[in-house]
């Protein structure tokens, strides 16, 4: 299906405005880079604005006509998410693409400012709240899309509704899997609800396989230490540039209808070129997803489409 699809096949993106969370490094940066090369206006929604300024200058050197904007967003803080959405809506009147890319992986037990376990709070609840707040602009923009990144670890994930905050025990790997399964279920359910409401916006999911990114910094946002860089090299069989392809395919391919889940076409979905990953068919459980949706609305205070 992907036919060795690459960024060269992305159509011209002039007139497209895209918000990318976590765009200052890894897959988010490669996604931003591809859109900048194609003429899109790219909003870096990032926690570390100083780091974003450095990579923004790098991109401007590579693509002098690139249209880039940095905006602060801390997905572990609901107040920051509201501030970002308010500032964006005061600045812009449209949004073509929202790419929910940012994430933390297997940090020590921590809670967000709002009392959520860090991985579930940032990876899922933060993006749930952000998407809900940005949805009016998406709905008012023709051919708009939301792409939410999951992971192959979602295949073994489970939503533990009795211990979402980790107060009854915390396993960092299991909680990462839970957050990534939540990302996948959210992408699917959002598309179902958008279609039911008659919206022209579509929602898709993607995962990068095993890509060489800074997720191994354990939530610090800093470069991983020497040992973790070795582990990362051994466990991550492809570059961040290749890992970004499923997201870029989901965001730009006109043949997709919404609800698709894109990942690498290699063995185990670990590496390769984009294709539709059918694992979503066995992972999507309507009852669990509805419960997750209701809990997410309750915890974030963000009401969505019915």
Enzyme catalytic residues: 170
Q: What is the DSSP letter of 211?
A: B
Q: Which residue has the tokens 């997803």?
A: 289
Q: Cβ(59)–Cβ(68) under 8 Å? A: yes
Element (H, E) at 71: strand 67-72
Q: Which of 262, 306, 276, 292 lies closest to 186, judged by CA?
A: 292
Q: Classify burial at 234, counting beta carbons within 10 Å of its beta carbon; exposed 0-12, middle 13-18, buried 19 or more.
A: exposed
Task: Work out whether strand 67-72 and strand 97-100 pair parallel, antiparallel, or are unpaired.
Answer: unpaired
Contacts of 94 (CB under 8 A, 6+ apart): 17, 137, 140, 141
CB 179 within 8 A of CB 105: no
User: Among residues 147, 129, 208, which one has the least CA distance to residue 20?
Assistant: 147
Give the integer Cα–Cα distance in Å for 184 and 205. 6
Rounded CA separation 52/46 (Å): 7
- Distances 289 to 27, 156, 192, 303 between C-alpha atoms, Å: 27, 16, 11, 16
- Given a contact cutoff of 8 angstroms between Cβ atoms, the answer to whether 21 and 45 are in contact is yes
């Amino acid at each position: 299906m992907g036919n060795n699809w690459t960024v060269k096949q992305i159509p011209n993106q002039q007139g497209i405005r895209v918000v990318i969370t976590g765009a200052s490094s890894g897959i988010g940066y490669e996604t931003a880079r591809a859109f900048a090369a194609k003429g899109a206006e790219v909003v870096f929604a990032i926690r570390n604005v100083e780091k974003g300024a450095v990579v923004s200058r790098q991109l401007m050197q590579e693509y002098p006509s690139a249209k880039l904007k940095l905006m602060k967003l801390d997905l572990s803080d609901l107040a920051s998410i509201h501030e970002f959405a308010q500032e964006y809506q005061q600045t812009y009147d449209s949004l073509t693409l929202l790419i929910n890319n940012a994430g933390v992986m297997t940090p020590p037990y921590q809670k967000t400012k709002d009392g959520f376990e860090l991985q579930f709070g940032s990876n899922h609840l933060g993006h749930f709240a952000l998407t809900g707040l940005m949805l009016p602009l998406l709905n008012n923009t023709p051919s708009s899309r939301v792409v939410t990144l999951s992971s192959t670890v979602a295949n073994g994930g489970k939503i533990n509704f009795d211990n979402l905050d980790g107060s009854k025990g915390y396993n960092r790997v299991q909680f990462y899997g839970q957050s990534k399964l939540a990302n996948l279920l959210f992408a699917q359910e959002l598309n179902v609800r958008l279609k039911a409401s008659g919206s022209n916006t579509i929602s898709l999911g993607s995962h990068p396989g095993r890509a060489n990114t800074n997720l191994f910094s354990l939530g610090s946002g800093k470069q991983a230490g020497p040992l973790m860089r070795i582990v990362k090299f051994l466990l991550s069989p492809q570059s961040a540039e290749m890992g970004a392809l499923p997201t870029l395919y989901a965001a730009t391919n006109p043949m997709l209808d919404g609800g698709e889940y894109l990942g690498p076409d290699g063995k185990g979905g670990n590496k390769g070129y984009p294709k539709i990953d059918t694992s979503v068919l066995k992972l999507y459980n309507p009852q669990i997803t509805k419960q997750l949706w209701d809990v997410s609305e309750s915890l974030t205070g963000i009401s969505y489409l019915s």
